[in-house]
Structure 1
Amino acid sequence: MRPDYDPRDDPPWAMQLVVRAEKASPPAHGAVCEAAAEAVVRLLTDPRATGPEGEWHAAVAEWESRRIRKVTRRARGVRWPEVQELPGVTVQHDGAEVRAFPPSEVAEVPPQIAKLQVAGLDLADAEVPPPAPAAPYAAIALNPGVTMTTGKAAAQCGHAAQLLLRQAGAGDLAAWAAGGLRVHLARDVPWGDCVPKATVAVRDGGFTEVAPGTMTAIAWIVR
């Protein structure tokens, strides 16, 4: 048994994130991270998730009562339009496309998603990262001392955006929503200075790539 086992995780639930990664035109690492984070918050703020009668409401509530696991997969060719036919939310951002799906038991993932590869999504970043958008937006910073693949980093950014959505103050949330729920991956920030000032911090469950409890990402809202 894992030392950090939590009985609430039995059976495990996860939100699936699918990244479009065509061989001829792969997206940039940072764009995928930003698109994944935005896809998560757009699904969680969708009326199908927020309204008590919404078709996703019960699944989201059940998942959020557990660890908020996310699984990042990649799709290319005909696999991408196949998953577009499933319920979910797709975000297109700076050449990246990511679709988030309502959470479910890991063992009950639709076959169109289950057959997609999980490991190995590791993309190069843009040579010149894009500047931050005009405020307001959510800023997410990844721990520069932790090595993560693009798939792992995208999941961590999704966690950070979700925690921010649930824990930020009402004024910050209203401003973020009014600005279109935009997300920016803050690079080269002074990590040690930003951590104590961040609104939320993500500590990983240790299922893949990093040790349990590792702080992987932080987030705050820029107004």
Structure 2
Amino acid sequence: MSSHNTPDSAESPFRHERTARDEAPQFVLPLVVRMERAAPPARTDALETAARAVLAMLSDERSLGDGEWAQAMSDWQDARIRKVVRRARGAEWRRAEALPGITVTGKSAEVRVFPPVPLDGWPKDLVKLQVSGTDLDDPEEPAAPDLSQPVLWMNPTLDMSAGKAMAQAGHGAQLAWWELSDEERVAWREAGFPLSVRTAPESRWAELTGSGLPVVRDAGFTEIAPGSCTVVADHAALRG
């Protein structure tokens, strides 16, 4: 199993109470979603693609061992786990693609994830990009999730922008990743990180948050109250 703190640890990177993680230099994982005017992505596909992008970054050989991104990844994971989603189109997207990172493509969404940067040290071609305006819709109701694969259940009582929800889905995927064994991680990666993101039925939310599965508790930096439970990461390997 992963040696990282579990989501219920007193030093969980997602809790809002001040911990030793707050004393470390703070980093952020940048994600950029492609938002062309004529063809914006579907909301659920954007959330799922963002979650897979985070997993791609966590598992990339450049993030591990002596890889070129390993130190930045270590520094980021030793502090609060922050992710910020910005949007880009046209020339903005092309400039973002030219920077070191990984682009993950869904059915309609493209998300590029970059190695962590200091909170005040964003590359100039990313810092100019807008955070607001990532409001997306699903053209049709998402199908029921495949429960044999990981499902990231979103809190049905919270109203989050698509950008905020994408970051939260990434948090949920990261908690699931930390809790898996090396063998389970390899199997998930080799399968292409299949997963679903769905809003939980209100009738099941209390059951999910009390199930012992990894829960993201937001630090409250943006949009929602500190300590809000945003995502439950449901992976077959993590069920009791």
Give the whole-Å Cα distance in 2 for the aligned partners of 1:156 and 1:163: 11
1:166 alignment counterpart: 178
Unmatched tracts of structure 2, length 5 or more = 1-15
Instruction: Provide the secondary structure at the position in 2 that maps to 1:95.
Output: coil
Task: Report what 1:201 is aligned to.
Answer: 215
1:71 to 84, 101, 111: 84
Equivalent pair of 2:57/2:115 in contact (CA under 8 Å): yes
Aligned residue for 2:30? 16
- Residue equivalent to 2:54: 40
Partner of residue 191, structure 1: 205
Deviation at 1:107, TM superposition (A): 1.1
Change (3 A) 1:80 1:210: same
Q: Report the counterpart of residue 138 of structure 2 in structure 1.
A: 125
Change (3 A) 1:7 1:222: closer
Question: Alpha-carbon deviation of 1:13?
Answer: 1.0
CA-CA distance at 1:173 after TM superposition = 3.3
Q: In 2, distance between residues paired with 1:186 and 1:70?
A: 20
1:111 aligns with 2:124: yes
SS in 2 for 1:159: helix
Match of 1:144 in 2: 156
Number of aligned residue pairs:
219
Aligned residue for 2:39? 25
Amino acid at match of 2:34: R
- Give the Cα–Cα distance (whole angstroms) in 2 for the partners of residues 198 and 172 of structure 1: 19
Q: TM-score, normalized by length of structure 2?
A: 0.84
Q: Deviations over 1:68-122 (max 9, x none)?
A: 0000100011111110111111111010011111001011110110000012211
Q: 1:211 maps to what in 2? A: 225
Which deviates further from its counterpart, 53-62 or 160-169? 160-169
| Residue pair 1:203, 1:214 contacting (<8 A) in 2 also | yes
Evaluate the alpha carbon distance shift between residue 170 and residue 194 of structure 1 in structure 2; reply closer, same or farther with a 3 A threshold: farther
Relative distance call for 1:80 and 1:196 in structure 2 (3 A) is same
Contact preservation (8 Å) 2:153, 2:234: no
Q: Secondary structure at the match of 1:73?
A: strand
- Aligned-partner Cα distance in 2 for 1:171–1:220: 18
What is the rounded CA distance, in whole Å, between the counterparts of 2:125 and 2:146 in structure 1? Answer: 35
Q: Structure 1 90/130 Cα, relative in aligned 2: closer, same or farther at 3 Å?
A: farther
